[in-house]
């Protein structure tokens, strides 16, 4: 039987969506980055994913290898259900994963980043089928939050406990998510046994001069603002993410308008992202407030998103559900852009080290913090760079992830003796 070379451990990522479908949100981009890191760390990486792109059309290329990552796309049945977050991913995903495990001599890390659905069940089934050979790693990416849904409650009663029992390692973005994991362990009477670790989001720091100051000059920002027709002297706020009701975009608009009414100069708000069923409502909301001249919606921005962060003064994120750290807030910090987020989008280190604020949302509190940041813009920018470099840099996260994978592999080897 043909085996994967014994000198390399295997990592299999199971995903409903994958690159280049970045419009489905931060987890897609993060898992793609993680795959590149572990390839560089000496692992062999296979990705088994659905074939749906972020415009809900099928991706034609079913197999590709890039950066050493072997990506295999399988069919998604009844694709129109994807718009309702129902992904009927072909069982061939599970069968291909079984084949990979059988043809690998050493332990296999299976990494999933969904809490509910067929894909995570395939991961749990692999752990059940190969309890000593498969190491199940889970990243929640803000999907642990409670939601009033009969479908979700039924799913959790049936399938959440097997995930908790089978999980060898859980990667949490912040302390709040660690506690959410632990709450689920307690509710389902499963021993957590130190399986949950803090693993903050990360991104490559942009133009940071190693965090020692603002390496982007006013002239640089002026050039970017001209490129995108943004007023030169305006205080620019930005939201970047899916245009979805749970993202709290309407209350971000209200906070921006309240801040603008008291601000001494011009203001501008960029709402950047892919429509997820709410763009028309946002547009109507803006028009009803006669704010179209100072608020702009920009769709389908991917590779150029860092330019939008860079030309902005402040990132706003006020989601109405607990989605934990927003990748966009980390990316904004990497560009020297301070962040103001609600507790539902908690991000560690930011408030403690002066790179922005995490608030229990109220209009008065939001406006007050916006005013504080505007009054000391240069200082907040410097702190944003430093926090990004110190806590959210790609280099430190890369080392941390590979260390965690090696530790869990070593533990598995010891336990199997």
SS3 labels along 205-246 = CCCCHHHCCCCCCHHHHHHHHHHCCCCCCCEEEEEECCECHH
- Provide the domain count of the chain: 2
Is residue 108 situated within a structural domain? yes
Angle between helices 363-375 and 249-262 (to 10 degrees): 60
Is residue 5 situated within a structural domain? no
Judge if 166 and 46 occupy the same domain. yes
Is residue 1 situated within a structural domain? no
Is residue 87 situated within a structural domain? yes
Judge if 223 and 138 occupy the same domain. no
**CATH code assigned at 160:** 3.40.50.2000
Judge if 157 and 258 occupy the same domain. no
- Partners of residue 15 on adjacent β-strands: 49
Per DSSP, 393 falls in state B
Q: What is the pLDDT along the chain (417 residues), one digit of tens a residue?
A: 344 444 579 999 999 999 999 888 889 999 999 999 999 999 999 999 999 999 999 999 999 999 999 999 999 999 999 988 889 999 999 999 999 999 998 999 999 999 999 999 999 999 999 999 999 999 988 788 777 788 888 898 999 999 999 999 999 988 888 999 999 999 999 999 999 999 988 887 665 444 444 456 677 888 999 999 999 999 999 999 999 999 999 999 999 999 999 999 999 999 999 998 899 999 999 999 999 999 999 998 888 999 999 999 999 999 998 877 899 999 999 999 999 999 999 898 999 999 999 999 999 999 999 999 999 999 999 999 999 998 898 888 999 999 999 999 988 765 655
Judge if 226 and 248 occupy the same domain. yes
Question: 30-67: b or e for each residue (b if 16 or more CB lie within 10 Å)?
Answer: bbbbbbbbbbebebbbbbbbbbbbbeeeebeeeeeeee
Judge if 65 and 131 occupy the same domain. yes
Judge if 166 and 256 occupy the same domain. no
CB 172 within 8 Å of CB 137: no
Is residue 189 situated within a structural domain? yes
State residue 2's pLDDT score: 43
Judge if 255 and 370 occupy the same domain. yes
- Cα 86 to chain centroid, rounded: 19
Domain of 83 in residue numbering reads as 10-202+394-415
Burial class for 213, CB neighbours closer than 10 Å (0-12, 13-18, 19+)? middle
Is residue 164 situated within a structural domain? yes
Neighbours of 25 (CB within 10 A): 23
C-alpha to C-alpha distance for 316 and 149, rounded to whole angstroms: 28
Neighbours of 7 (CB within 10 A): 9
In the sheet with 69-74, reading across from the earlier edge strand, the strands are 63-66, 69-74, 44-50, 10-15, 108-112, 134-139, 167-172, 196-198
Judge if 408 and 385 occupy the same domain. no
C-alpha to C-alpha distance for 17 and 23, rounded to whole angstroms: 10
Judge if 33 and 176 occupy the same domain. yes
Neighbours of 194 (CB within 10 A): 7
Judge if 236 and 164 occupy the same domain. no
Judge if 186 and 119 occupy the same domain. yes
Judge if 275 and 255 occupy the same domain. yes
Q: What is the pTM for the complete model shown?
A: 0.78
Is residue 288 situated within a structural domain? yes
State residue 416's pLDDT score: 56
Is residue 2 situated within a structural domain? no
C-alpha to C-alpha distance for 318 and 341, rounded to whole angstroms: 5
């Amino acid at each position: 039987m043909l085996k994967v070379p014994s000198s390399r451990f295997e990592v299999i990522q199971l995903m409903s969506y994958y690159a280049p479908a970045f419009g489905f949100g931060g987890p897609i981009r993060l898992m793609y980055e993680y795959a590149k890191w572990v390839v560089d760390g000496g692992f062999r990486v296979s990705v088994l994913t659905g074939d749906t792109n972020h415009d809900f059309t099928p991706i034609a290329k079913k197999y590709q290898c890039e950066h050493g990552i072997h990506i295999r796309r399988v069919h998604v049945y009844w694709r129109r259900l994807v718009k309702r977050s129902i992904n009927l991913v072909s069982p061939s995903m599970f069968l291909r994963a079984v084949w990979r495990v059988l043809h690998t001599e050493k332990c296999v890390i299976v990494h999933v980043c969904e809490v509910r659905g067929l894909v995570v069940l395939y991961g749990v089934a692999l752990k059940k089928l190969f309890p000593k050979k498969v190491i199940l790693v889970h990243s929640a990416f803000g999907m642990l939050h409670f939601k009033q849904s009969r479908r979700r409650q039924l799913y959790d009663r049936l399938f959440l406990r097997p995930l908790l029992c089978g999980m060898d390692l859980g990667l949490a973005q912040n302390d709040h998510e660690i506690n959410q994991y632990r709450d689920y362990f307690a509710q389902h009477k499963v021993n957590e046994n130190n399986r949950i670790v803090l693993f903050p989001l990360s991104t490559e720091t942009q133009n940071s001069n190693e965090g020692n100051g603002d390496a982007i000059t006013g002239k640089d920002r002026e050039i970017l603002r001209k490129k995108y027709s943004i007023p030169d002297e305006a205080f620019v706020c930005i939201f970047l993410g899916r245009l979805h009701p749970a993202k709290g975009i309407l209350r971000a608009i209200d906070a921006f308008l309240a801040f603008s009414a008291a601000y001494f100069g011009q203001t501008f708000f960029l709402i950047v992202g892919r429509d997820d069923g709410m763009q028309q409502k946002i547009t109507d909301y803006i028009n009803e407030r006669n704010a179209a001249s100072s608020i702009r919606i920009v769709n389908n921005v991917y590779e150029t998103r860092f330019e939008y962060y860079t030309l902005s003064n402040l990132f706003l994120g006020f989601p109405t559900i607990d989605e934990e750290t927003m990748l966009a807030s980390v990316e904004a910090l990497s560009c020297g852009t301070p962040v103001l987020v609600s507790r539902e989008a908690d991000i560690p280190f930011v408030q403690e080290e002066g790179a922005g604020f995490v608030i229990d949302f109220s209009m008065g509190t939001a406006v007050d913090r916006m005013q504080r940041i505007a009054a000391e813009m240069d200082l907040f920018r410097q702190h944003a760079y430093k926090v990004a470099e110190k806590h959210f840099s790609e280099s430190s996260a890369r080392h941390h992830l590979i260390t965690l994978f090696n530790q869990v592999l070593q533990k598995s080897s010891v336990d199997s003796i």
